Structure 1
């Protein structure tokens, strides 16, 4: 029987009153929204006495339908002693089905949120603040692209893979209806394809750039031709990081090939790493980690190759300021002619209170450049790398299946992944760094990092540079490659990096060098031959480099600060800070003061920071440390903590440290809780005989959102002590220590 929901559609209420509270409306409209919401509630109370159910929620298919579908899949899920799923299917689809089910068992709430967000229906479940996300999905044309290109551009085997994963999610949802949103079922293959279309541009900062546009207090400066063509991607804060390192046999101490997989992400949420082992009789044989809603391994290794991902942020978003016809607001100027906007309507269902939901409609204008954002200071069209892309899952599966460097590069040559660095290693001893991105083919001579004039059709780029133009470092003489969110001309500790002069400035290649990049080069150059222990020591390095922006600006502040504004206690702290050795070891008693003082420097990402800002951060640090600990010299591990449930442990490392740890201010106990950075990581080795092995660690456990699970936080102690565990690749061995073996139709967890 269908369930009915009272839904009132208050026609044509401007969406901006709700979805842009923080982004476009400003403080005045917050008051307007507050008042309007109360008016709407009163209207609701009056109407609910006679209003029938206006909208019917989607019918939830009967459980038997999903169970019948599940009988088609031949899969076995083996949970090892840590609860990590090892999934064995006959076909690729069987394996994907098992992954969808296992991931639902461990983190259904996040997976469901990801799918609702991808559909643009998150506000129906979570309220008006989520309508911003729903609007962006429709503004980007995610579903326009998927619906128009799915049949033609998505191969049948990828459709089957995606649908199988969706069927695994559907089965779990049917078995556990109390966890399921009314807006979820059934999950489909298109949901998963659309997830990549929506999310992948966010990794290079599309959402940040869009937010800056609508948040601007003044009209943005227009780009000019032939002026300052050198591009530096603007950033408000230091990226969370990531690093990958590959070492060739000629550089390793035992003639093995090594790979470090160490991507830094939030520790929870839609882009937190989930570990899995995938195997099918058709040849899918890979281990690593993935995100909720991704039916593949995103980074890890198979028997022959391995790859590590790091975020790169070249300039891949373009804004065009449009000239609107003063006599007709539905027209814009292009090449001295007025053109009519195309329009489409965004529709958001927004939950407010109890059963009360409203449907909001807002027109989105479309120009030849792309969708148009209307702001208080003008109308801007947006164009970005990866718009309308639906082949990303195909690309990722091809990477999972690649057997050698040629097949890996063939996957990259698809040009279906909008951004992301790849650090590569393989059984044959090849190593490489690929500065991967879909680089728009822009004309030269323009400042592409600024807002562009919207009346010049030559600026509406078409297509992307092919794989040959991708900056890459392959098998360098030093036998060592790396990336730590640094430019591609700094990819090895030798002298055969790429030369940025060989690439058009319009590609927008970033130039900022992280502390982690400096430290990797410094340590690598000190080692003629690198052992596994050397690689481990490098990864867990706890120091800032003297070359880093952090230490340069700290030294400048220590020298230039006006000490007359400091209290006696602050003057003593200032003197003590001169003695800091740049370490973030958990026993270091000056690291807390230093890291807190450097907070504005971290956020500036290479830009100069006003002395007063650093002074304020320093004074705040002294005040807080004294308030909670009675002194400013405190062991760093007492302040920086890794917490999950009732387990709360000291952890070393810090922002932009190779042992990456990012907190978010002090809580009421005077602790900074680690929110992002180091999480799932792998150390991969191919020995001289070509045998692959790997070791891994995870910050929490296999079921990091299931507080009632024994695997909610069972890996934390090992993680904070830098301990690694062997990754079991053999099916018979994992069965020997298995906690459960089951088909999703008969779960035993």
Structure 2
């Protein structure tokens, strides 16, 4: 049975001493290491094209990984380092005490002793990649002595084994750090007892869109794929990795990881969308104390609670201080909170070696069969996959790591951990999870929504799957995507781009009619600004509910929508989770006609206050700006920015651009949404186009800091240079690492 691993007292040793000796106080690199790196660098060639995209060539896959990490550090070392500070639980050492529970959460699931052990038992091919990861990063630091890391002065090959949560593994980020703090500081108030579920309606929707078009609906009779991840801006870089061992992958790579996460090779392409497939569970553990020792009940037994003390360092004005914790586990996983006197243990995928192997091996898949064979590793817990290939196959899988469970329990709720019937019963195979292959409709879409509408009438049959496999709800992006893909009979790369940028905002198909109806029942004379309100109502009546930089109707719709939703949020009851569509329905039903009209009056007043007139086009408010390249960007209304027409995916915008005001700004600046976006045609020869949020480099003033921003903001794409003969015509620089 594949279960989350947990630490035991037998694994205790001085983590702090180990880390201090191995990283913080690293000695200068050894001459033997430098000589080895220099020799490998000669075997790696990096060609930067005219967009700054690195095309990395090497004899072996490990050579290419070495070059990849070198180029990542060239483009944005800060994000490479930050991702590992986050993953290995050392954020508090640079950010202070506020990050302690972030670090504790990471240590509960994995520590360096486990990562080192996994590294030692890794297969030879994986160990070579892990070594190359560390060597490429360290060689960058050696050849760039003016670069000053915040903490990590030497990278170790086991580190990627601690960076396998979220996008490629389990997802520990869903565990609230406040709840951890409540438990481990023995505070009486638990976040589980608070009405914090309404926070989800204030967060910007992230996730992704993936489309696949079958040959039957393709003008060239080749399969097409849309890759459109929605992430925080600058979260991934664009690369090509080519070796003589069969690697030729192009796409998006997360800073510090060594594989193309979303992309394609000569044979096939893969797009991941965030999944709500139920791959983790919370167990309510019955705890007993006997003779000063802790036990938990499981069936007729009481079992000792494994524990471990750890001292976590954190930065203060007077230097590094330490806080000691006693961490706890049960057989279900680490203890992360308490509810009604019972401890909460969480079970999730914790098999980082499988996650890394699957993530890398899929980039070398040659067809549907080999891609599916890699999925048998069950190393992907948080993603759905949209797939297309040169044979004309299109496919979709909803999740991948899927525990088998007793279906008589409600797996949406915390489960009684004392009942053995609630234990996981192994894993479902890749054949058993929700999926579709070559649907008769000729198209597939997933926008972080239900899998039961992915292909119109050809979608999977919900009744044949356990409920826990796909509790995902529909959302407005999914509705819009299905509409767009079903209405067109033939697609090209150009029309697939147009579909990805379809401007319709489906949420307002429900929201605006409710406002217009409210206006009819509320006398305009009873509300201040009656004349302005009448004019605004007319603007909204005429608005096609489409985004655009020149649209005043869009400005009114969004600002009014935000105002009325804020009122509705305050009325959501504890334990009343609402998805995208149901929250809109709740907003409409829970607010009166008078409140809807008053919200419009408030919207007009706020727009007039901030911009001089409520008749302000959306592009004057919604802007793209990149000034510093720092992880925490700053914004300034007085400095240049670019208008953006598309908007938050919460409204059903397929092209996502989450924007908000920032300190001292009236305009809204984007921070999350479309990142690396690509369309691919598979055939005898790959044809592809792509665009990234701003540019390849994080360094202000350099050519590739924002050179793609104008394309990005207008929904346009550049040609992908995939073949050597095409790259040769667009070379900016060719070099070996360290030159």
Q: What do the CA deviations read for 1:631-682 (whole angstroms, capped 9, x no partner)? A: 2221111111111125510011112201211112466442110111112111
Q: 1:197-596 alignment to 2 at 5 Å?
A: 197=165, 200-201=168-169, 206-210=172-176, 236=201, 237=203, 239-268=205-234, 272-325=235-288, 328=292, 330-353=294-317, 356-375=319-338, 378-493=341-456, 495-507=457-469, 509-545=470-506, 548=507, 550-560=508-518, 563=522, 566-568=527-529, 571-572=533-534, 573=536, 576-596=539-559
Q: Is the 8 A contact 2:275 2:398 kept in 1?
A: yes
Please state how far the C-alpha of 1:426 moved relative to its aligned partner: 0.8
Please state how far the C-alpha of 1:533 moved relative to its aligned partner: 2.6
Cα distance in structure 2, aligned partners of 1:411 and 1:614: 52
Shift in alpha-carbon separation, 1:191–1:666, aligned structure 2, 3 A: closer
Cross-structure match for 1:167:
135
Cα distance in structure 1, aligned partners of 2:556 and 2:377: 48
Cα distance in structure 2, aligned partners of 1:112 and 1:219: 31
1:673 to 650, 669, 676: 669
Cα distance in structure 2, aligned partners of 1:428 and 1:96: 28
Please state how far the C-alpha of 1:108 moved relative to its aligned partner: 0.1
Cross-structure match for 2:574:
none
Secondary structure of 2:608 counterpart: helix
2:685 to 668, 687, 691: 691
Secondary structure of 1:442 counterpart: coil
Shift in alpha-carbon separation, 1:504–1:736, aligned structure 2, 3 A: same
Unaligned runs of 5+ in 2: 1-19, 183-187, 570-577, 628-638
Cα distance in structure 2, aligned partners of 1:208 and 1:477: 37
Please state how far the C-alpha of 1:624 moved relative to its aligned partner: 2.8
Cα distance in structure 2, aligned partners of 1:140 and 1:567: 57
Please state how far the C-alpha of 1:202 moved relative to its aligned partner: 6.3
Cα distance in structure 2, aligned partners of 1:667 and 1:619: 25
What TM-score, normalized by structure 2, do the two folds share?
Answer: 0.84
Secondary structure of 1:250 counterpart: helix
Cα distance in structure 1, aligned partners of 2:464 and 2:380: 23
Please state how far the C-alpha of 1:102 moved relative to its aligned partner: 0.2
Which stretch shifts more, 61-70 or 523-532? Answer: 61-70
Cα distance in structure 2, aligned partners of 1:510 and 1:233: 19
Q: 2:660 aligned with 1:702, yes or no?
A: no
Q: What do the CA deviations read for 1:356-391 (whole angstroms, capped 9, x no partner)? A: 111211011111221112448544333333124322
Q: 1:707-746 alignment to 2 at 5 Å?
A: 707-746=700-739
Please state how far the C-alpha of 1:233 moved relative to its aligned partner: 14
2:154 to 183, 186, 191: 186
Q: Is the 8 A contact 1:653 1:660 kept in 2?
A: yes
Q: 1:1-40 alignment to 2 at 5 Å?
A: none
Q: What do the CA deviations read for 1:184-219 (whole angstroms, capped 9, x no partner)? A: 13212210121014764566xx42344585589568
Please state how far the C-alpha of 1:528 moved relative to its aligned partner: 1.9
Cross-structure match for 2:654:
658
Secondary structure of 1:263 counterpart: strand
Shift in alpha-carbon separation, 1:616–1:461, aligned structure 2, 3 A: farther
RMSD: 3.0
Q: What do the CA deviations read for 1:392-440 (whole angstroms, capped 9, x no partner)? A: 1211111110011101111112111112111111111111111123111
Shift in alpha-carbon separation, 1:54–1:677, aligned structure 2, 3 A: closer
Cα distance in structure 1, aligned partners of 2:342 and 2:505: 44
Please state how far the C-alpha of 1:258 moved relative to its aligned partner: 1.2
Q: What do the CA deviations read for 1:590-623 (whole angstroms, capped 9, x no partner)? A: 2122123333759952332342797786555333
Q: Is the 8 A contact 2:330 2:345 kept in 1?
A: no
Number of equivalenced pairs: 669
Q: Is the 8 A contact 1:245 1:480 kept in 2?
A: yes
Cα distance in structure 2, aligned partners of 1:199 and 1:165: 19
Q: 2:91 aligned with 1:111, yes or no?
A: no
Q: What do the CA deviations read for 1:85-132 (whole angstroms, capped 9, x no partner)? A: 110111100000000000000010010011122221121122122222
Q: Is the 8 A contact 1:330 1:341 kept in 2?
A: yes
Which stretch shifts more, 252-261 or 316-325? Answer: 316-325
Please state how far the C-alpha of 1:737 moved relative to its aligned partner: 2.8
Q: 2:63 aligned with 1:97, yes or no?
A: no
Secondary structure of 1:598 counterpart: helix
Secondary structure of 2:153 counterpart: coil
Shift in alpha-carbon separation, 1:601–1:551, aligned structure 2, 3 A: farther
Secondary structure of 1:445 counterpart: coil
Please state how far the C-alpha of 1:182 moved relative to its aligned partner: 6.4
Q: What do the CA deviations read for 1:512-542 (whole angstroms, capped 9, x no partner)? A: 2122211122122222222333212111111
Cross-structure match for 1:7:
none
Cα distance in structure 1, aligned partners of 2:538 and 2:367: 56
Cα distance in structure 2, aligned partners of 1:209 and 1:127: 20
Unaligned runs of 5+ in 1: 1-52, 222-231
Cα distance in structure 2, aligned partners of 1:588 and 1:198: 37
